[in-house]
Amino acid sequence: MSRLVKRLIHICAWRDEAPLRYQDADGTLHTVEEWIDRWSESGDWWAGEGERIIYRIATRDGVVADLERTQNQWFIYRVWD
């Protein structure tokens, strides 16, 4: 199961364009333990959306989430149970 959240986050550290550590909106700092997958999706071009890069990650504190980069902004897009 998963839930959509689409919440803005701040990437604090990265390697090879992949996130290593991020800060959530509530100030919690998460460290990426594993990159599970990476893919890109085309946005709704008719609505002016560009490409989206998505990383499925697992953090040291047990969060599995999809992090999305869209036009230099990062979001927690989806959280997995």
How many other C-beta atoms can be found within 10 angstroms of the C-beta atom of residue 74? Answer: 19
Residues in the chain: 81
Token readout for 77 is 């897009």
Q: Is the dihedral of CA 40, 44, 50, 54 positive or negative?
A: negative
Amino acid identity, residue 65? Answer: A
pLDDT at 79: 95
Domain housing 20: 2-80
Q: What is the pLDDT of residues 14-29, one digit of tens each?
A: 898 899 999 998 999 9
Q: What is the pLDDT of residues 17-70, one digit of tens each?
A: 899 999 998 999 999 999 999 999 987 888 888 889 999 999 999 999 999 998
Q: How many domains does the chain divide into?
A: 1
